[in-house]
Amino acid sequence: MKLKQIHKTLIVTLVLSLIVIIAAALIQINAQNQLVIRCSYIDPIIIDFLAFSAGLFLVIEGLARIYEHKPASFKRQLTRMIRIALGFAILTLHIMQFIHK
């Protein structure tokens, strides 16, 4: 059975997002482990809140655009998929930083 275009787009978006989440988490953990002097993130909590909001906006807006343009080709949906993946990367990094605080 042939998958609908929207299903292909959502599957690739999910896989791409998972790859980005894992990569961002591994890079962050690796960077933290290489620090000789353990330090806390000194950014005010509002920075994490704003970044979290921006990441969430990218994810929601990207998904809304994918659903708005369901019949669009995979190639036309690519920028939306990247937008969602970048949103998840921002969310991942700032959740990890917030937990560290």
In tens, the pLDDT along 13-46 reads 999 999 999 999 998 888 877 766 665 566 677 8
The two tokens of residue 44 are 């005010």
Share of the chain above pLDDT 90, in %: 50
Q: What's the domain count of the chain?
A: 1
How far apart are the C-alpha atoms of 78 and 8, rounded to whole Å?
11
Q: DSSP H helical segments within the chain, as ranges?
A: 5-33, 45-68, 74-100
Residue 72: count of CB within 10 angstroms of its CB: 16
pLDDT above 90: residue 55: yes
The structure tokens 């000194």 sit at 42
Q: Which domain holds residue 43?
A: 5-100
What's the pTM value of the predicted model, to 2 decimals? 0.82
- C-alpha radius of gyration, the chain, whole number: 16
